[in-house]
Amino acid sequence: MNSKKTLALISALAISTAAFAAEVDVSKIPPASDKKGLTYEKDIKAIFDKSCVECHGAVKPKGRLRLDSLEGALKGGVDGKVIEPGNGAKSKLVHGISFLTDEEYWMPPPDNKQKIEKLTTEQIGLVRAWIDQGAK
């Protein structure tokens, strides 16, 4: 790919990412939990295992996003990183589980075949607090 095409692709991705972030009204995100010392293994993995790993696990992860491990969650997927450690309100993952994005990014999708329920306000608050605390 030549440099002009590469620059155009990078610009398009930056505009797409900015548009995604601009659409979200962060005031509608459930507040972060007050729980301190949150970790993926101790506090978040069980939530993801119940609500996310069916589609974002080791077998054909949608959007190449894996949430079955801390490393996978931090890596992100085809649309880039979904977690911004230290800032849950700006993390695409929190936007998606809060149903504040375009419907294609809602997690879990409302019409999913497995009938996985939407995360509760408390679960979203824990995920947000975990990310705010550095996503460890």
Q: Are 74 and 135 in contact (CB under 8 A)?
A: yes
* Average pLDDT of span 116-126: 97
Residue 8: its pLDDT value, please? Answer: 46
Q: How many CB atoms lie within 10 A of CB 24?
A: 20
* Average pLDDT of span 115-136: 97
Helices and strands (DSSP H and E) totals, the chain: 5, 0
- Tell me if the pTM is above 0.85: no
Residue 11: its pLDDT value, please? Answer: 44
For tokens 């972030």, name the residue.
21
Predicted confidence band at 2 (pLDDT cuts at 50, 70, 90)? low
Q: What would the pLDDT profile of 85-118 be if each residue is shown by its tens digit?
A: 999 999 999 999 999 998 989 999 998 888 999 9
Q: Are 88 and 127 in contact (CB under 8 A)?
A: yes
Q: What would the pLDDT profile of 42-95 be if each residue is shown by its tens digit?
A: 999 999 999 999 999 999 999 999 999 999 999 999 999 999 999 999 999 999
- Judged against a pLDDT cut of 80, whether residue 9 lies above it is answered with no
Predicted confidence band at 23 (pLDDT cuts at 50, 70, 90)? confident
For tokens 């005031």, name the residue.
27
Q: Are 30 and 125 in contact (CB under 8 A)?
A: yes
Task: Pick the closest to residue 70 from 59, 60, 85 (CA basis).
Answer: 85
Which residue would you say has higher pLDDT here, 13 or 112?
112
